[in-house]
Amino acid sequence: MKDISCKLLVIGAGPGGYVCAIRAGQLGIDTVVVEAKKLGGTCLNVGCIPSKALIHAADAFEKIARIARNASPLGISAGKPAIDLAKTVLWKDGIVGRLNSGISALLKRAGVKVVEGWARFRDGKTVAVETEIGPQVIRAEQVVIATGSAAIELPSLPFGGKVISSTDALALNEVPEKLVVVGAGYIGLELGIAFAKMGAEVTVVETLSRILPQYDTELTRPVARRLRELDIGVLTDAKARALSPDGATLAVETADGKVASLAADRILVTVGRKPATEGWDLAAIDLDRDGPFIRIDDQCRTSMRGVYAIGDVTGEPMLAHRATAQGEMVAEIIAGEKRSWDRVTIPAVCFTEPEIVTAGLSPDDARAAGIAIQTGLFPFQANGRALTLGEEAGFIRVVARADNHLLLGIHGVGAGIAELSASFALALEMGARLEDIAQTIHVHPTESESLREAALRALGHPLHI
């Protein structure tokens, strides 16, 4: 095949890569994007989007099941629901398919050429792509590596058979009777809660002493309480060992050193993700590393001139919106604009029940940085809208500098709170002070009022508590 020459080559069409390619195309840059699987990457195909679809289905099912058990105070009755997970997965695949073709159309409109296949570096400006119709060589002036990340496998529990990754969990045809989740991070808990709601008997095994260890206990307490309500077993300070020879049970070493056997139909291993740095001859260009990740500077430049890297392959936090922001920035840098990474916060959402939102510093972070702070916490128990939704667990908490009331962090936990993450991040990016939040009218009755009340409380004069 004839070699392709272009100005910009993007390797990987996940939320970092495809956005970078669209933006570059908009800016008139001759761009090629290479993707071995489907457009949209982990996020769209086996991550954010499908998991949220599954979580939504599980929510809907559990609400009806609760009503059927007469456990709902709403005065509604219903028959016992049933779920056909294969159909749910079909519905989910339909959403993913629509978004896949949407990305394809957007790339086309931006004038970006898509090459399907697996790319390998020959040198810093040249890759060879194994396509269905043979090898394709692409030469580019600038290269963006956006290869993403992959689930980490436990050596003692390799994926296959009963042992599944999050990708597999999103494609199950039926709800497992007994599900063991290894790893109580956000992916394991999101999926574990969803399967528990759909009727699975779920046990979570975590090596550390508590769930969601990246969050402070104040934030995770409402989630821990909800896990108990859903009868999800939580084993902390426990290590998953191996399957029994007949494959029926999982050996787990508990905190007291004993080994327990957990019966399991499926074992979902979610112990973290690693950067996808293998299989594309990264060694050929020998980029500097930052641990397992590719080292980048504040313009996403690697150690080689003309080679950029964005997204999960460059480090934590491994979040789609971080990759997207980086991809957009790099496209503009390549177009000759002056840009560099100056974001105040990369907000994050954990779609457990209830949801957790973090933006900026936690009180502990701020104190560790030696900043004198004022905090304010407002519980949803005192919020009218939360009560009418039957969702009174959780709170919003603000952290501000004591000397000038500049907001340093806004965190919250509560049902549906993910949609407030934008206002949290906006406040931090705009450099808002407590007074700015306090002087902004928040609509009644909404859960967002709790943000204003938290700010008022930090100022010493909350109204509704």
> Counting contacts by CB under 8 A, is residue 431 touching another protein?
yes
**Is 464 in the active site?**
no
Distance CA 180, CA 168 (A): 14
Only one of the segments 202-210, 227-235, 362-370, 455-463 lies at the binding site for another protein (rule: CB under 8 A); that segment is 455-463
Helices 17-26, 320-334: crossing angle, 10 deg rounding:
30
Give the N- to C-terminal CA distance of the chain in Å, as an integer: 71
> Counting contacts by CB under 8 A, is residue 80 touching another protein?
no
> Counting contacts by CB under 8 A, is residue 433 touching another protein?
yes
Q: Which is nearer to another protein, 148 or 462 (CB)?
A: 462
**Paired strand residues for 142:** 8
> Counting contacts by CB under 8 A, is residue 463 touching another protein?
no
Q: Which is nearer to another protein, 160 or 431 (CB)?
A: 431
The single residue among 77, 342, 370, 443 that binds another protein, judged by CB under 8 A, is 342
**Paired strand residues for 274:** 150
> Counting contacts by CB under 8 A, is residue 406 touching another protein?
yes
Among the options 405, 411, 442, 444, which is catalytic? 444
> Counting contacts by CB under 8 A, is residue 156 touching another protein?
no
> Counting contacts by CB under 8 A, is residue 261 touching another protein?
no
CB-based contacts of 121-125 (< 8 A; 24+ apart in sequence)? 121/280, 121/281, 121/282, 121/284, 121/285, 122/281, 122/284, 123/284, 123/285, 124/285, 124/304, 124/305, 124/306, 124/307, 125/306
DSSP 464: -
> Counting contacts by CB under 8 A, is residue 129 touching another protein?
no
SS3 for 141-205, per residue? EEEEECCCEEECCECCECCECCEECHHHHCCCCCCCCEEEEECCCHHHHHHHHHHHHCCCEEEEE
The CB-of-337 to another protein minimum distance in angstroms stands at 7
Only one of the segments 84-92, 183-191, 260-268, 332-340 lies at the binding site for another protein (rule: CB under 8 A); that segment is 332-340
The CB-of-415 to another protein minimum distance in angstroms stands at 29
The CB-of-339 to another protein minimum distance in angstroms stands at 6
> Counting contacts by CB under 8 A, is residue 435 touching another protein?
yes
Three-state DSSP state, 364: helix
Q: Which residues contact residue 17 at a Cβ distance below 8 angstroms, ignoring those fewer than 6 apart?
A: 10, 11, 33, 35, 41, 144, 146, 310, 311, 323, 327
Only one of the segments 24-32, 193-201, 359-367, 397-405 lies at the binding site for another protein (rule: CB under 8 A); that segment is 397-405
Residues in binding contact with another protein, number by CB under 8 A: 23
> Counting contacts by CB under 8 A, is residue 374 touching another protein?
yes
The single residue among 429, 442, 446, 465 that binds another protein, judged by CB under 8 A, is 429
**Paired strand residues for 395:** 379, 413
The single residue among 178, 339, 385, 442 that binds another protein, judged by CB under 8 A, is 339
> Counting contacts by CB under 8 A, is residue 336 touching another protein?
no
**Paired strand residues for 396:** 378, 412
Q: Which is nearer to another protein, 204 or 373 (CB)?
A: 373
The single residue among 134, 291, 336, 460 that binds another protein, judged by CB under 8 A, is 460
The single residue among 138, 143, 366, 459 that binds another protein, judged by CB under 8 A, is 459
Decide: residue 8, CB within 10 A, 0-12 exposed, 13-18 middle, 19+ buried. Answer: buried
* Structure-token pair, residue 182: 């290894």
Residues of this chain that bind another protein (CB under 8 A): 337-340, 342, 374, 401-406, 429-431, 433, 435-436, 438-439, 459-461
As annotated, the active-site residues are: 444
